[in-house]
Amino acid sequence: MAVTIIYSTSQKYPLYQMGNPQLRIFRPPFFLTLVRPGKEQPPDVVQFRIPMVMTKFDVRNYVEKIYNVPVGAVRTRIQYGTNKKRNHLNQKVKRPDYKVAYVQLAQQQTFEFPDIFPKKDVKSAEGSVEEMQEKFMEDEEQRQKPDPRRGGVTEWFGL
């Protein structure tokens, strides 16, 4: 078979023996997740979670060909997911294992994981329910505030 058809990550690869042509996978079923590093990493290192079946060479080819990002070095490790936690039936629940790849970019490029959830001031639409609710909450807060003329002194004492 000239074309390698790998439909899922659970499928076995064809056997390789010396002299065989280079294995090519069309429509790779592998998905990478870019993660924020838990420990401080050098500025040119990007951290990925990759499927267990991928190797360093696979990651390098994937990132270079699909994302056109120059890759210098790739290091991988397998993170063991704990089997210690127990559920409400006292059964052990396994957290799945996953493979982590540290990709070092070439050509002195750097990458910093951005902040994807910045605080945005949300203004509700005019005349909507949310706007009325917000207005009501603001009025309530205003009512609960102590008298500013007392200059910060509590109202616990009389007068």
Partner 1 sequence: MAATSAGRVLTLCRQFQNACRISTTLSAQQSTVTLTKGRSYPHRLPSTLLSSSWSCNLDLAVQCRPLHTTISRRGLEEFFDIPENWGEATVKSGAPWTAKQLRTKSNEDLHKLWYVLLKEKNMLLTIEQESKRQGQQMPSPERLKKIDRSIRRLDTVVKERENALRLLQTGQERARPGDWRKDVFGRIYWYRFREHALPWYMNRRYKRKRFYTPAFVAPHLRLRLEKYLRAKTRKQKKESENQAVLKEKFPQMQAKSQ
Is residue 28 near partner 1 by the rule CB under 8 A? yes
Do residues 13 and 23 make contact, with C-beta atoms less than 8 angstroms apart? yes
State yes or no: residue 7 binds partner 1 (CB under 8 A). yes
Question: Residue 10 carries which side chain, given as an amino acid letter?
Answer: S
Distance from C-alpha of 37 to C-alpha of 105, rounded to nearest angstrom: 15
When binding is defined by CB under 8 A, the residue of 27, 84, 88, 145 that contacts partner 1 is 27
- From residue 31, alpha-carbon distances to 28, 38, 59, 66 in Å are 8, 21, 10, 12
Q: How far is the CB of 84 from partner 1 (least distance, A)?
A: 20
Q: Provide the minimum distance between the beta carbon of 91 and partner 1 in the complex, in angstroms, as a whole number.
A: 23
Neighbouring residues of 4: CB distance < 8 A, sequence distance ≥ 6: 13, 14, 23, 24, 25, 26
Contact call for residue 118 and partner 1 (CB under 8 A): yes
Torsion of CA 13, 15, 21, 25, to 10 degrees: 0
**Rule CB under 8 A: is residue 70 a binding residue for partner 1?**
yes
- x/- track of binding to partner 1 for residues 37-56 (CB under 8 A): ---------x--x-------
| Nearer to partner 1 (CB atom), residue 14 or residue 81 | 14
Applying CB under 8 A, does 32 fall inside the site for partner 1?
Answer: yes
At closest approach, how far in Å is the CB of 34 from partner 1? 4
Residue 140 has φ and ψ, to the nearest 5°, of -60, -45
Binding site for partner 1 (CB under 8 A): 5, 7, 12, 14-15, 17, 26-28, 31-36, 46, 49, 63, 65-70, 107, 109, 111, 114-120, 122
